Amino acid sequence: MKSYLIIIPAYNEENYIAKVLIDVKKATSYADVLVVSDGSNDNTVEIAKQMGVMILDIPCNIGYGGAVQTGFRFATEYGYDHVITIDGDAQHDPYSARNLIDMMSSEEADVVIGSRFLEGTYKMGIARKIGSWIFSVIARLYTKTRFTDPTSGFQLLNRRVFSYLSNADNYPLDYPDVNIIMALHKMKFKVVESPVKMLEKPGGKSIHSGLAPLFYVVRMFLAILMVLIRKEN
């Protein structure tokens, strides 16, 4: 067993998962690889099996956050020291994992978030952009650090953090955002950002569309409020 675990949450990613796994294996020979299939009903699991990686096959779809948390539980149980999360849709360049690791040791950080914006190669919708901007301002006021890409699924976490997040209520089922960064800051964990290269996703669909962005903004305000008023033990 290696000390790094790569967690790849995947929901119906049969088109990308093989490419992701080939790239990840090539780029990160220092790590074990775990695919967490979030109730996929296509061939994601079969393809991952053929690639000879470890697989957690969640029986129904519980959401991105739920899948990642299952990976955290796995890592906690099997005693890994560090976890790297990479999205299963081939939008992250696994060679950039090195940036995260270097940043963690130079900054003595507990969490490093891979940012798509520090190197400026990524676009998103206007509603999402405004929402993101507001949240990043709130997060900056609270943590005194600037986060350009808090929703990034490309992250490096040390054992203290992922074992904390693997507890039932400490991680959301849907999409972790600035609320998690703020919650970790509140717990005195050091969270920093590092640039990562993003690969252009062919025919990719955004996670937020239609009325969802508005709902998401309200939901995130609530989450942030809860971080601020909850008493943690």
Partner 1 sequence: MSINIRILIFIVGLLIFIMILELVRKRKFREELSVIWLIIGVVIILSSFADLIIDPIARKLGIYYPPALVILILSFFLISAILYFSIVVSDLKTKNKELIQKIALMEYKLNQAYKKDEGA
Alpha carbons 82 and 7: distance in angstroms, whole number: 10
58 binds partner 1 (CB under 8 A): yes
Contact 89, 204 (CB under 8 A): yes
| Closer residue to partner 1 in complex, CB, 44/70 | 70
173 binds partner 1 (CB under 8 A): yes
| 3-class secondary structure, 50 | helix
Binding mask 8-37 for partner 1 (x = CB under 8 A): ----------------------------x-
Q: What's the one-letter identity of residue 187?
A: M
118 binds partner 1 (CB under 8 A): no
Contact 181, 112 (CB under 8 A): no
Answer for which of 1, 29, 59, 211 binds partner 1 (CB under 8 A) is 59
| Closer residue to partner 1 in complex, CB, 69/91 | 69
Answer for which of 6, 20, 40, 66 binds partner 1 (CB under 8 A) is 66
C-alpha dihedral sign at 129, 131, 132, 133: positive
| Closer residue to partner 1 in complex, CB, 168/229 | 168
End-to-end C-alpha distance for the chain, whole angstroms: 33
Q: What's 200's DSSP letter?
A: P
H/E element, 217: helix 212-229
Minimum gap (Å) between residue 66 Cβ and partner 1? 6
Query: What residues make contact with partner 1 under the rule CB under 8 A?
Result: 36, 54-60, 62, 66, 69-70, 73-74, 77, 168-169, 173
